[in-house]
Chains A and B, each alone.
Chain A
Amino acid sequence: MKQQPIVQFKHTTKIIGRKTIVNDLNFDVLAGEVFGFLGPNGAGKTTTIRMMVGLIKISRGDILINGHSIASQFEQAIRHVGGIVENPDLYKYLTGYQNLKHYARMVPGISKKRINEIVEQVGLKERIHDKVSSYSLGMRQRLGIAQALLHRPALLILDEPTNGLDPAGIRELRNNLKELAHQEGVAVFVSSHLLSEMQLMCDKIAVLQKGKLVSIENVQAFISKDSISRVYLEVEASQTELTKMLIADLNKTAIAGSGPNELWIQMNKDEVPELNKLLLENGVRVLSIHVQERTLEDKFLEMMEEEQ
């Protein structure tokens, strides 16, 4: 199946006052992928999402959804979008079911059966006829997801969806989103700063920093590219200088670690046997060697530091 773009950002820019909050975004979100939108607090994630759903105007550029401009063809563009913006703010004085009925009435062709189906799917069956004011945050999050999926959107936008969910709920959501994307071809756009979560959930990750896109990659490439595991070595104190020289021969730099005999090197995991062989052949007594693989979090934080 060829993946077609569901969302196309075209020089999307948002300026409020004199501040450029989102700066010239240019990328596509494809059908069938879970797309992670990562960035520290205040990066402009929510602002971008607000533009995607037409809550705020785009200052420059445009966003196309299924080929329709959200600015000039709002109704056609939004028809295929479901989402939660920021918090799952629903009508507290209505029941969960009344909330869903409310949103169902706004799109033609949503049957009672569909409402019941979605209630079952998000696991709210027992409490659906209670007032939303009595729901926990996690339950409101689930109801929020239910209203977003009610009309079978081609694009699902979730702003920090794991907020308030318990670990089981997070895993369930992760699986649901993956299934939705991979089985039903929905484009899922998720913003978060829960990095470890994104790593497990997303196929592709875009990193936003101060309103600018600083990276966009498939999640595997994102983690492994540029080598970047850390190899910790412990050798006899008398041999540290020798070790440093040997490592310099490999065109790498060994850096003194926290312990007196400890060194660490930035390198790929698959280069470790090479290193080990070299040290052995030159008579270095290696006390310990271990590889610390970088998580997405490490990479993310590094990226943020570089940008500062």
Chain B
Amino acid sequence: MIGLISNEMMKIVNRKLTWIILFLLIAITAGSFVMNKLTEEPVSDWRAEQSELIERYQGQLEIDELSPQMHADTENKLQIANYRLENDIAPVSENPWSALLRFSGLIEMVIIFAIVIAADVVSREYTSGTIKLLLIRPHSRSKILFSKYISVAVFALCMLAIVFVTGYGVSAMFYGFGNLDTTDLFLNAGGEVTEMNVFLQTVKMYGLSFLPILSYVTLSFAISTILRNSALAVGISLFIMIVGNSIIEATSRISWLKYLPFANSDISLYIFHLPARPEMTLGFSLTVLAVYIAVFAGLSWMVFKKRDTA
């Protein structure tokens, strides 16, 4: 099994596409943090700034067109700003962990790239004809497929780690290495303002995001295994991802949508207390994702095991 996985890793690593993706991943991550630094304005008096923010938030809340999620987000921020003034707690000074938390969008980039790699790993063997020589070895088809799946999963995990490390490295150049004990105000699952460890929140967000990444990887992998077409797998997966983002909004109105993977695939919603529906919890989302992963993986396994290889 180790041999099979190192084979698959060798095939991923020796492709040009992989290196283009890794380059983009690092460039975009570093670029985002640099841009953020350049547009930053220094704060002289945090109390005045918070009061200003409160006024702005209140103004926003009076606008009707605000989407439910934006509305909830603004309310949360308002709540935290008020709490700061009442309890005289200054915002934390800029540090790598807080910066990483703010860039949760980078996780979506990891998802997109992971979809592209996952779409190729099985269908490419078919289009290049190499599947024949791969399958006539003393290994069951299940093992071959599993080794491919593990390899893309590991690769996706590496990309996530690269984003984390690059983001941390670039921010550390601007803000210093940061202190592991730094705390900041967050809303807990009950919606109360709580002081939490920023480093742990960051690790939680990036760590748990592996599950949504894996669910898109599995989707793309399954489509490409079943249809033997990587372009379709990328297309369908990206389409679902984009449509999925708008479904998060609709989920607040239509209850059963919460059982679809979309409203569950953004872990940052739980870090910032923005569940699509009040009854949805982190555990619920992770369970839904795990079920989808099992279903997609099972489907591709059944098809791959049975199919005549022409």
Q: Which residues of A contact B (CB under 8 A)?
A: 50, 53-57, 74-76, 78-79, 81, 83-87, 89-94, 98, 101-103, 105-107, 144, 147
**Given A55-B308, A56-B309, A74-B140, CB of A86 within 8 Å of CB of B7:** no
Q: Tell me how far the C-beta of B18 lies from the nearest C-beta in chain A, rounded to whole angstroms.
A: 10
> Knowing that A53-B136, A89-B129, A106-B7 are A-B contacts, what are 17 other residue pairs whose CB atoms are under 8 Å apart, sorted by A's residue number?
A50-B309, A53-B132, A55-B132, A56-B308, A56-B309, A56-B310, A57-B308, A75-B139, A75-B140, A78-B137, A79-B138, A87-B129, A89-B130, A89-B132, A92-B128, A93-B16, A105-B7
Which residue on A lies nearest to B6, using beta carbons?
A105
Q: Which of A56, A86, A107 contacts B129 (CB 8 A)?
A: A86
Q: Tell me how far the C-beta of A255 lies from the nearest C-beta in chain B, rounded to whole angstroms.
A: 47
Q: Name the B residues within 8 Å of A76 (CB-CB).
A: 138
Q: Name the A residues within 8 Å of B3 (CB-CB).
A: 105-106
8 shortest interchain CB distances as A-B pairs: A89-B129, A105-B3, A56-B308, A106-B137, A55-B309, A79-B138, A53-B136, A85-B132
Residue in B11, B132, B136, B137 with the greatest tally of chain A CB atoms within 10 Å? B136
**Given A50-B309, A55-B309, A105-B3, CB of A90 within 8 Å of CB of B138:** no
How far is it, in angstroms, between the C-alpha of A237 and the C-alpha of B7 when the chains are bound? 76
Q: Are B138 and A75 in contact (CB under 8 A)?
A: yes
Q: Name the B residues within 8 Å of A54 (CB-CB).
A: 135-136
Q: Counting CB contacts under 8 A, is B269 at the interface? A: no
Q: Name the B residues within 8 Å of A91 (CB-CB).
A: 11, 128, 130
Question: Restricting to B79-132, which residues have a CB under 8 Å from any CB of A?
Answer: 128-130, 132
Q: Are B10 and A94 in contact (CB under 8 A)?
A: yes
Question: Restricting to B283-310, which residues have a CB under 8 Å from any CB of A?
Answer: 308-310
**Given A50-B309, A56-B308, A106-B4, CB of A90 within 8 Å of CB of B136:** no
How many residues from B make CB contacts under 8 Å with A?
23
Q: Name the B residues within 8 Å of A79 (CB-CB).
A: 138
Q: Counting CB contacts under 8 A, is B39 at the interface? A: no
Q: Which of A92, A93, A94, A103 contacts B133 (CB 8 A)?
A: A103
Q: Which of B128, B130, B136 contacts A83 (CB 8 A)?
A: B136
Q: Tell me how far the C-beta of A103 lies from the nearest C-beta in chain B, rounded to whole angstroms.
A: 7
Q: Are B133 and A147 in contact (CB under 8 A)?
A: yes
How far is it, in angstroms, between the C-alpha of A271 and the C-alpha of B7 when the chains are bound? 64
Q: Counting CB contacts under 8 A, is B44 at the interface? A: no
Q: Which of A56, A86, A93, A105 contacts B14 (CB 8 A)?
A: A93
**Given A102-B7, A102-B10, CB of A89 within 8 Å of CB of B128:** yes
26 interchain pairs, CB-CB under 8 A: A50-B308, A54-B135, A55-B132, A56-B308, A56-B310, A57-B308, A75-B139, A76-B138, A78-B136, A78-B138, A81-B136, A89-B130, A89-B133, A90-B133, A91-B128, A91-B130, A92-B128, A93-B14, A94-B10, A101-B10, A102-B10, A102-B11, A105-B4, A106-B137, A106-B139, A144-B133
Q: Are B138 and A107 in contact (CB under 8 A)?
A: yes
How far is it, in angstroms, between the C-alpha of A209 and the C-alpha of B49 when the chains are bound? 88
Q: Which of B10, B135, B139 contacts A55 (CB 8 A)?
A: B135
Q: Name the A residues within 8 Å of B310 (CB-CB).
A: 50, 55-56
How far is it, in angstroms, between the C-alpha of A103 and the C-alpha of B136 when the chains are bound? 10
**Given A56-B309, A93-B14, CB of A106 within 8 Å of CB of B130:** no
Q: Name the B residues within 8 Å of A83 (CB-CB).
A: 136
How far is it, in angstroms, between the C-alpha of A91 and the C-alpha of B127 when the chains are bound? 11
Which residue on A lies nearest to B139, using beta carbons?
A106
Q: Name the B residues within 8 Å of A98 (CB-CB).
A: 10, 14
Q: Name the A residues within 8 Å of B133 (CB-CB).
A: 84-85, 89-90, 103, 144, 147
How far is it, in angstroms, between the C-alpha of A53 and the C-alpha of B139 when the chains are bound? 12
Q: Tell me how far the C-beta of A107 lies from the nearest C-beta in chain B, rounded to whole angstroms.
A: 6
How far is it, in angstroms, between the C-alpha of A98 and the C-alpha of B10 when the chains are bound? 9
Q: Name the A residues within 8 Å of B308 (CB-CB).
A: 50, 55-57
Q: Name the B residues within 8 Å of A107 (CB-CB).
A: 137-138
